[in-house]
Amino acid sequence: MPRSISPAGAAGIWQFMKSTAIEYGLEVNSEVDERYHLEKATIAACKYFNKSYAKYQNWTLVAASYNAGKAGISRQLDRQQASDYYNLLLGEETGRYVYRIIALKEILSTPDKYGFYVDEEDLYAHLKTGAVSVDSSIHNIASFAKKYDISYKELKDLNPWLRDNKLTNSRKKTYKIDLPVSALNTQKIPSKPIRPESIPTPIIDESQISIKTQGMSIQNKN
């Protein structure tokens, strides 16, 4: 789900279009696409919800605007002289959107009531992760992963927002790259000289240690 992309180009778990993502503070380019960053995209989505609620004072209209856009919903409210979602005549997708959210919330709140029984053993295993801060370029992400004794696939699974095999960081921006906790103290010294920019100085940020479960991140508050 975090890697989802729609035919229209909306990406990530919150399905942001590129322009909207940038408007709400996400970085989007060929190497970094924070629409695929679960935590940052969720914060951006919450900012969108709060801004929409300030406009509509109505959560169903907020949800509808997330699907159709604030301009589209506002235009239909004016055109139809309506004041709420349930009295709007909308296209099929947006017309069903809020009802799907309500149905999903109801099922997740009381799964047994609807015949869904999930045992503990059916859940994804918890994976403790920690964040490594990087403020320089990474010439080769596969080599970076190998220094921590993990595979390229493992690193990309934890960091789907890294969209290429390199990270060009000429602005010296600090990025936090998630790694399994077990890998944080296993950084290897490369046996062959490589480009200086590919050897960022990692800083383990203990406040960013979290548990990854079912695609979500629960941050350690200790």
Task: Quote the tokens at residue 222.
Answer: 């200790």
Distance CA 28, CA 10 (A): 12
What pLDDT is attached to residue 1? 60
Q: Would you state the pLDDT for residue 219?
A: 44
Banded model confidence at residue 187, pLDDT cuts 50, 70, 90? low
- Its pTM surpasses 0.75: yes
Q: Which two tokens stand for residue 4?
A: 């989802």
pLDDT over threshold 70, residue 168: yes
- Residue 221 confidence (pLDDT): 40
68 Cβ contact partners less than 8 Å away, ≥ 6 residues apart: 76, 90, 91, 94, 97
Mean pLDDT computed over 34-40: 96
Q: What is the pLDDT of residues 121-147, one digit of tens each?
A: 888 888 899 999 999 999 999 999 999
Inform me whether the pLDDT recorded for 208 exceeds 80.
Answer: no
CB 93 within 8 A of CB 72: no
210: left (phi over 0), alpha (psi -120 to 50) or beta: beta
Share of the chain above pLDDT 70, in %: 82
Q: Distance between terminal CA atoms of the chain?
A: 29
pLDDT higher than threshold 60 for residue 214: no
Put the strands of the sheet holding 175-180 in their side by side order: 175-180, 127-134, 203-213, 216-219
DSSP track, 157-172: HH-TTB-SS-B--TT-
* 182 pLDDT more than 70: yes
